């Protein structure tokens, strides 16, 4: 995957991302890490084309999101958010078929076959006819991964996909994500699970107060060159 971010600046009431630039090519799992409030989710929203920067440009695999191309751009991506955003009144299966029928124009049969295939792959065979409130947090999160995959995106964007899960469910979801990587999907993701970053990410972007303080192949976590990343690793590592 190719990520090119040029002089991106994002303000809300204050500056959140301050003239960020990075060019990377050839990595399939890119992690964005940093302290709470540093701007990770904001950067992910810009990369997702959900919001736009006030300055600068973002290209992912030569795709660029503008107000005109937003829909086309987003069709190439799958999203998984911190809290699953499944429709509460629909079953897990219907959460997927509704997208395939309405957005992709698939027939009911086609959409159901695809939904079942994905839910089976994520070990949700027995849960597919339940509504989100009737399944565990990990199952709901796996269903949102299934939904993100339903449109066959090559790139998944995930913001703390395990944040609401206990350690066992976290493990379960992370194993699924690893499996998807082995199937050739690309990922840009935010997580606080540094052990997962260490054994899953190929590349790490460390953000500090709205700037990229350090970036490089994942090994930088074991051998940081900036004081900021050194301090971050010292404060968050327990191993
Ligand atoms: N829609 C918004 N309106 C105003 N301020 C915002 C908005 N979204 C984010 N911010 C501010 O931007 C800063 C960065 O927020 P962001 O959500 O990107 O942080 P984060 O690194 O994802 O943090 P966390 O690890 O806690 O999720 C914060 O100070 C936040 O208050
Ligand atoms: Mg966040």
182 with 212, same domain: the answer is yes
> Is 42 a member of any domain?
yes
CA of 122 to the centre of ligand 2 (A): 25
Q: How far is CA 195 from CA 25, 31, 65, in A?
A: 23, 12, 32
Question: Is 70 exceeded by the pLDDT of residue 156?
Answer: yes
**Average pLDDT estimate for 95-108:** 94
Other Cβ atoms closer than 10 A to 236: 11
> Is 193 a member of any domain?
yes
134 with 202, same domain: the answer is no
105 with 199, same domain: the answer is no
161 with 227, same domain: the answer is yes
Number of domains in the chain: 2
Which atom of ligand 1 lies at the shortest distance from residue 82's CA? 27
Please name which of 5, 2, 49 lies closest in space to residue 211, comparing C-alpha atoms: 5
Which atom of ligand 1 lies at the shortest distance from residue 210's CA? 14
CA 90 – CA 128 distance, rounded (Å): 10
pLDDT, tens digit, 9 for 90 and up, residues 198-237:
989 999 999 999 999 999 999 999 999 999 999 999 887 5
127 with 200, same domain: the answer is no
CA 76, 82, 85: angle at the middle one, nearest 5? 70
Question: Is 80 exceeded by the pLDDT of residue 239?
Answer: no
70 with 158, same domain: the answer is yes
How many helices (H) does the chain have, and how many strands (E)? 8, 10
pLDDT, tens digit, 9 for 90 and up, residues 20-71:
999 999 999 999 999 999 999 999 999 999 899 999 999 999 898 888 888 8
pLDDT, tens digit, 9 for 90 and up, residues 62-79:
898 888 888 888 888 999
pLDDT, tens digit, 9 for 90 and up, residues 5-15:
999 999 999 99
118 with 159, same domain: the answer is no
CA 67 – CA 222 distance, rounded (Å): 40
Q: Specify whether the CB–CB gap between 226 and 213 falls below 8 A.
A: yes
- The per-residue pLDDT for 100 is 95
CA 112 – CA 100 distance, rounded (Å): 9
Which atom of ligand 1 lies at the shortest distance from residue 192's CA? 25
Ligand 1 atom 26, closest CA: 36
Which CATH number belongs to the domain containing residue 186 in this structure?
A: 3.40.50.300
68 with 184, same domain: the answer is yes
Helix (H) / strand (E) element for 3: namely: strand 2-11
CA 121 – CA 124 distance, rounded (Å): 8
Question: Is 60 exceeded by the pLDDT of residue 84?
Answer: yes
Q: What contacts 24+ positions apart, CB below 8 Å, involve 226-230?
A: none
CA 168 – CA 118 distance, rounded (Å): 22
104 with 63, same domain: the answer is no
CA of 46 to the centre of ligand 1 (A): 12
Q: Is 209 helix (H, G, I), strand (E, B) or coil?
A: coil
Ligand nearest to C-alpha 32: 1
Ligand 1 atom 9, closest CA: 42
pLDDT, tens digit, 9 for 90 and up, residues 103-150:
889 999 999 999 999 999 888 999 999 999 999 988 998 999 999 989
Of the three residues 104, 126, 152, the one that is the final residue of a domain is: 152
Mutate which of 39, 160, 208, 211 to test ligand 1's pocket (most atoms within 8 Å of Cβ)?
Answer: 39
- Tell me the residue length of the chain: 239
Mutate which of 13, 15, 16 to test ligand 1's pocket (most atoms within 8 Å of Cβ)?
Answer: 16
The residues lining ligand 1, judged by C-beta closer than 6 Å to any ligand atom, are: 12-13, 16, 34, 36-42
Determine the structural domain holding residue 176 and report its residue range.
Answer: 2-76+153-236
64 with 131, same domain: the answer is no
CA of 207 to the centre of ligand 1 (A): 12
CA 44 – CA 95 distance, rounded (Å): 23
- The per-residue pLDDT for 238 is 52
- The per-residue pLDDT for 125 is 95
Highest average pLDDT, of 83-87, 116-120, 163-167, comes from 116-120
Question: Is 70 exceeded by the pLDDT of residue 176?
Answer: yes
- The per-residue pLDDT for 165 is 77
Question: Is 90 exceeded by the pLDDT of residue 161?
Answer: no
CA of 213 to the centre of ligand 1 (A): 17
Counting Cβ atoms within 10 Å, is residue 26 exposed (0-12), middle (13-18) or buried (19+)?
Answer: exposed
Please give the sequence-ordered ranges of beta strands (E in DSSP) within 143-222, or none if there are none.
155-159, 186-190, 203-208, 211-217
Is the whole model's pTM more than 0.75, yes or no? yes
- The per-residue pLDDT for 122 is 86
């Amino acid at each position: 995957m190719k990520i090119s971010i040029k002089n991106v600046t994002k303000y809300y009431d204050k500056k959140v991302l301050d003239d960020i630039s990075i060019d990377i090519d050839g990595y399939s799992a890119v992690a964005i890490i940093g302290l709470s409030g540093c701007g990770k989710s904001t950067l992910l929203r810009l990369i997702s084309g959900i919001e736009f920067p006030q300055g600068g440009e973002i290209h992912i695999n030569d795709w660029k999101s503008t107000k005109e191309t937003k829909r086309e751009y987003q069709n190439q991506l799958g999203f998984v958010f911190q809290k699953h955003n499944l429709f509460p009144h629909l079953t897990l299966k219907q959460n997927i078929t509704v997208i395939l029928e309405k957005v992709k124009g698939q027939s009911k049969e086609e959409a159901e076959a695809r939904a079942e295939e994905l839910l089976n792959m994520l070990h949700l065979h027995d849960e597919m006819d339940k509504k989100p409130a009737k399944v565990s947090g990990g199952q709901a999160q796996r269903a949102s991964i299934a939904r993100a995959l339903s449109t066959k995106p090559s790139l998944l964007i995930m913001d703390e996909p395990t944040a609401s899960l206990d350690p066992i469910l976290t493990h379960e979801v992370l194993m699924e994500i690893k499996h998807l990587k082995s199937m050739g999907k690309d990922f840009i993701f935010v997580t606080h699970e540094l052990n997962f970053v260490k054994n899953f990410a190929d590349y790490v972007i460390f953000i500090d107060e709205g700037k990229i303080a350090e970036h490089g192949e994942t090994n930088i976590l074991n051998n940081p060159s900036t004081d900021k990343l050194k301090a971050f690793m010292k404060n968050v590592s327990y191993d």
